[in-house]
């Protein structure tokens, strides 16, 4: 629950009344008392009328001066509180932006927060977050995000580009004189190869300290998001290399990991997995057999040795921070719902749901693929095997989703 405004706050609309009461008690009442004393105790003893009139004029002047002082002080107070209210709104906007920027995982997400916050703080017609690669002067400015009237940027792009190219190198905000429309560029602290800025067009409030703070926070968020993008790219590329190495190592079953991932992805999406959970499921499915890289090709038909590959894969993935979240799914993808699987004999809900999905997806792909020691089943035969194994080898809920996908035509099994 939000706090109630103070009874003297401008937000309760009682400041004027409180100030008037203070003026009445502090100035008007004493002045009236002075006039009373003068009327009954001073004026009767004055023989000179000029002195009496002078005293009256003095009292009236003091009253008028106090009233003028009150009105001036009241106006200054209201203006100061109004400015404080505006500063408070700016601070609240900065705090909200800081919270959003702290969890932004992509550059565009961080830029969108900066643009909307900058427009709100300065009441601009439009706010843009732009960057430029210093290594290639011919490249156009890249607009990561905008808030407000997007078409305003095009008319001033050349001037803004010039500011990004030279003036912002000093690290200070740059104003562009366009005559009627104010434009300010607030620099972002990015990596040495990139320059960028928050560009305000048609703003009513000057950028000031709030925008400088927003630019500082935004620069850090953009830098962190860029690092995360690079990490994700490295993660994806590394996974791809391992998948290719696994395909080469298991040359009798090319493309198995990708096929398992495809089936698992369809099931996970049907179950309503979030994007983050879908990503973990996808990479776990791609890497589910990674432990086979530790098993020589000559041992691939030795069932006892092959049964160690989930544990070997778990050890490999747990040693790498980027993959430790998916390691448990790899460890348990050969567990059976009735507890007759391996390596730990887990049953039912004790098996991670991702492992249950991968287990079914791998079984389906294996059943429909030919190897050196078995002939592939037809799609209809594989579907029958899933129905028969529901509740024993497979989680009934996962099996039901798989069968629904096949019936809907969202998942097609191929003869191989």
Residue 271 confidence (pLDDT): 95
- Dig out the tokens for 336 from the structure: 């059976």
Where are the chain's structural domains?
10-101, 107-227, 250-408
User: What global pTM score does this model have?
Assistant: 0.56
Residue 97 confidence (pLDDT): 78
How confident is the model over 354-366, as pLDDT tens digits? 999 999 999 999 8
Cβ atoms within 10 Å, residue 140? 9
* pLDDT-based confidence at residue 374 (cuts at 50, 70, 90): low
Tell me the average pLDDT of the chain. Answer: 81
- Report how far residue 377's alpha carbon sits from residue 385's, in angstroms, rounded to the nearest whole number: 10
* Kind of pairing between the strands at 183-188 and 174-176: antiparallel
Check whether 1 has a pLDDT greater than 60: no
Residue 137 confidence (pLDDT): 61
Domain 107-227: give its CATH code.
3.30.450.40
How confident is the model over 176-226, as pLDDT tens digits? 877 778 888 888 877 777 778 889 998 887 777 888 888 888 888 888 887
Q: How far apart, in Å, are the Cα atoms of 200 and each of 80, 138, 208? A: 26, 23, 12
Non-local (6+) Cβ contacts of 164 within 8 A are 130, 132, 141, 185, 195, 196, 197
Q: Are 260 and 358 in contact (CB under 8 A)?
A: yes
Check whether 109 has a pLDDT greater than 90: no
Residue 28 confidence (pLDDT): 67
* pLDDT-based confidence at residue 339 (cuts at 50, 70, 90): very high
- Report how far residue 166's alpha carbon sits from residue 195's, in angstroms, rounded to the nearest whole number: 10
How confident is the model over 50-92, as pLDDT tens digits? 766 766 777 777 777 777 777 777 677 766 655 665 556 666 7
Q: Give the domain 250-408 fold.
A: Hypothetical protein af1432 (1.10.3210)
Residue 278 confidence (pLDDT): 93
Non-local (6+) Cβ contacts of 9 within 8 A are 15
Query: Between 294 and 238, whose confidence is greater?
Result: 294
Which range (193-197, 260-264, 339-343, 389-393) has the least confidence? 193-197
**Average confidence (pLDDT) over 93-115:** 83
3-state secondary structure 55-76: HHHHHHHHHHHHHHHHHHHHHH
Neighbour-count burial of 177, counting CB atoms closer than 10 A to its CB (0-12 exposed, 13-18 middle, 19+ buried): exposed
DSSP three-state, residue 143:
strand
Q: What is the DSSP letter of 415?
A: P
């Amino acid at each position: 629950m939000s706090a109630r405004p103070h009874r003297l706050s401008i937000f309760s609309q009682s400041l004027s009344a409180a100030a008037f009461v203070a003026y009445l008690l502090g100035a008007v009442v004493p002045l009236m008392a002075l006039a009373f004393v003068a009327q009954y105790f001073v004026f009767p003893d004055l023989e000179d009328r000029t002195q009496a009139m002078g005293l009256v004029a003095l009292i009236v002047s003091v009253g008028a001066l106090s009233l003028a002082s009150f009105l001036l002080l009241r106006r200054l107070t209201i203006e100061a509180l109004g400015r404080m209210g505006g500063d408070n709104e700016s601070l609240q906007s900065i705090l909200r932006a800081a919270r959003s920027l702290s969890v932004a995982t992509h550059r565009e997400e961080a830029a969108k927060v900066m643009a909307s916050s900058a427009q709100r703080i300065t009441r601009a017609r439009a706010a843009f977050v732009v960057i430029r690669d210093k290594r290639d002067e011919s490249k156009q400015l890249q607009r990561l995000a905008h808030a407000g009237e997007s078409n305003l940027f095009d008319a001033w792009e050349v001037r803004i580009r010039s500011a990004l190219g030279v003036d912002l190198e000093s690290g200070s905000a740059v104003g562009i004189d366009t005559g009627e429309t104010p434009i300010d560029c607030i620099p972002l602290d990015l990596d040495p190869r990139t320059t960028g800025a928050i560009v305000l067009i048609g703003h009513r409030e000057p950028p000031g300290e709030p925008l400088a703070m927003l630019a500082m926070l935004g620069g850090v968020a953009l830098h962190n998001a860029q690092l995360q993008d690079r990490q994700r790219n490295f993660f994806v590329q590394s996974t791809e290399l391992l998948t290719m190495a696994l395909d080469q190592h298991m040359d009798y079953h090319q493309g198995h990991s990708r096929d398992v991932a495809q089936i698992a992805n369809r099931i996970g999406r049907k179950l309503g997995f979030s994007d983050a959970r879908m990503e973990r499921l996808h990479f776990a499915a791609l890497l589910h057999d990674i432990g086979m890289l530790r098993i020589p090709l000559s041992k691939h038909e030795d069932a006892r040795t092959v049964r160690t590959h989930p544990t070997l894969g778990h050890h490999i993935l747990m040693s790498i921070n980027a993959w430790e979240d998916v390691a448990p799914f790899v460890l348990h993808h050969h567990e059976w719902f009735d507890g007759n699987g391996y390596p730990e004999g887990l049953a039912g809900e004790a098996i991670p749901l991702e492992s249950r999905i991968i287990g079914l997806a791998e079984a389906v792909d294996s059943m429909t693929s030919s190897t050196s020691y078995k002939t592939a089943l037809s799609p209809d035969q594989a579907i029958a095997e899933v129905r028969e194994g529901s509740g024993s080898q497979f989680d009934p809920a996962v099996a039901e989703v798989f069968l629904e996908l096949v019936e809907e035509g969202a998942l097609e099994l191929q003869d191989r």
